[in-house]
């Protein structure tokens, strides 16, 4: 899905997000296939390195904007003056330039280590950096299982890159009736969500008026990211972990997932009990 125009001063265009390869099939046959690109992306603030993440090199301005908000590095997208994206030897450099007097949260700066594709906590150096306090979301959102089911049904057709390479996660923002408004893809589920949050911030979307669906399990990091920007409902293909459910309860969020019975909603007012 096409998103809003980016205001970044540069965009990496030599990476299409997929790489063509030839695969062998049957008895001596072959065909063209697409593999998802995965490259190191170095994210810096005002020239100060912050973290290196493995990501699909598409919608990188959205990633920088969304990561800044979902990880609490910046208080708002308005603190971003410019985003410079450049190809460098071995990967891509993103430099987020902030407006004067903008505060780059020091407690979120100590992540200048490698962040692997599927990991939302790589680069953390202290235990208290891993599970953060969640921000309560605006109360009153009513999750409709039928709307969530509609979004999940629509999701595969909206995953443009995944139709070619079958290996990308997607995060989509949906209206209360289940219509998909924004969608972003990446090899990592956390990065796909950051890209989505960044696209929503650029469009000044009301984060309290809708829900997010994702092609992944519901880990606690996804709950932290969505609650940090006021998203009241997160629906994932697989069920949440007990920690994710507990954090969602603290934030007042609704969690949902697919099952053999269709869409199920989890009672976040009753935190999961540990098994003996």
- Which region holds residue 72: left if phi is over 0, alpha if psi is between -120 and 50, else beta? left
Starting at the earlier edge strand, list the strands of the sheet with 80-88: 80-88, 91-98, 39-45, 48-55, 114-115
Starting at the earlier edge strand, list the strands of the sheet with 262-266: 180-186, 169-174, 211-214, 233-236, 254-259, 262-266
Q: How far apart are CA 200 and CA 239, in angstroms?
A: 25
- Annotated catalytic, 119? yes
Q: Report whether 77 contacts 211 (CB < 8 A).
A: no
Q: How far apart are CA 50 and CA 172, in angstroms?
A: 26
φ, ψ (nearest 5 deg) of residue 63 = -60, -50
Closest to 248 in 3D by CA, of 215, 264, 217, 225:
225
Q: What is the chain's alpha carbon radius of gyration, rounded to the nearest angstrom?
A: 19
Q: Which residues are catalytic?
A: 119
């Amino acid at each position: 899905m096409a998103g809003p125009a980016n205001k970044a001063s540069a965009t990496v265009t030599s990476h299409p997000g997929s790489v063509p390869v030839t695969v062998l099939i049957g008895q001596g046959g072959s065909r063209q296939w697409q593999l998802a690109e995965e490259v190191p992306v170095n994210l810096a603030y005002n020239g100060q390195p912050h973290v290196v993440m493995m990501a699909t090199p598409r919608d990188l301005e959205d990633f920088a904007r969304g990561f800044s908000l979902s990880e609490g590095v910046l208080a708002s997208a308005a603190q971003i003056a410019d985003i410079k994206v450049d190809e460098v030897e071995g990967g891509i450099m993103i430099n987020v330039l902030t407006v004067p007097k903008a505060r780059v949260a020091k407690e979120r700066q100590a992540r200048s280590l490698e962040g692997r594709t599927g990991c939302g906590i790589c680069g953390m150096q202290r235990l208290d950096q891993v599970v953060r306090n969640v921000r309560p979301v605006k109360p009153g959102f009513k999750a409709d299982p039928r709307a969530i089911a509609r979004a999940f049904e629509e999701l595969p057709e909206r995953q443009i890159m995944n139709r070619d390479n079958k290996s990308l996660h997607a995060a989509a923002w949906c209206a209360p009736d289940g219509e998909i408004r924004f969608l972003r893809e990446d090899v990592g589920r956390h990065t796909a969500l950051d890209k989505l949050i960044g696209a929503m911030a650029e469009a000044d979307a009301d984060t309290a008026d809708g829900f997010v669906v994702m092609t992944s399990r519901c880990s606690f990091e996804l709950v932290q990211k969505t609650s940090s920007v006021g998203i009241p409902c997160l629906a994932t293909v697989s069920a949440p972990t007990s920690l994710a459910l507990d954090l969602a309860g603290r934030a007042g969020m609704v969690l949902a997932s697919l099952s053999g019975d269709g869409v199920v909603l989890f009672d976040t007012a009753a935190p999961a009990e540990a098994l003996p």
